[in-house]
Amino acid sequence: MSSRTCPDWPDLMEIAPELQFKHYTVAEAQLPADALMKVSAEQLSDVAICCDLDRNVFYAAHTDPQVADALRQSHWFEVQEWIAAGRPGTS
C-alpha cells in the first residue's frame, strides 16, 4: 500500500474491488481540459482528488467539491455513479 492510497480503501474495496483509489493533487492527476477549465489555476497544486486514474472514477468524499462538480460534467464518474452505471470500462 502506497502513501497515496486512500485511507478509506477497505470500504471502497467492498463496493468496487476492481478500483484502486489514490490521492493526488489536481495537477498530478492531469484531468481532462473540460474539467480543468472549471477549476481555478491556483487550486491545481493545492487541491486534492481521490480517484482511480486508469478508470476515470473519483471518490467525492475525498475530492474537493469544485473539482468533483467539474468532473461530473466530464466523462468521469463518481464511484457510486460508476457502480449504478454498471461499471463502464470493465470487462
pLDDT value for 91: 63
Are β-strands 57-58 and 77-78 bridged in parallel, bridged antiparallel, or unpaired?
Answer: parallel
Write the pLDDT tens digit of every residue in 11-51.
999 999 999 999 999 889 988 888 888 887 776 788 889 99
Residue range of the domain that includes 38: 9-84
Please report which confidence band the pLDDT of residue 2 belongs to, taking 50, 70 and 90 as the band edges. low
Write the pLDDT tens digit of every residue in 52-84.
999 999 999 999 999 999 999 999 999 999 999
User: Are 6 and 12 a contacting pair, CB within 8 Å?
Assistant: yes
Residue tagged 481532462 (cell numbers): 32
Is residue 90 a part of any domain in this protein? no
What's the number of domains the chain is made of? 1
Is residue 2 a part of any domain in this protein? no
Q: Is residue 1 pLDDT above 60, yes or no? A: no
- What's the predicted TM-score (pTM) here? 0.88
How many Cα atoms within 13 Å fall on the side-chain side of residue 91? 0
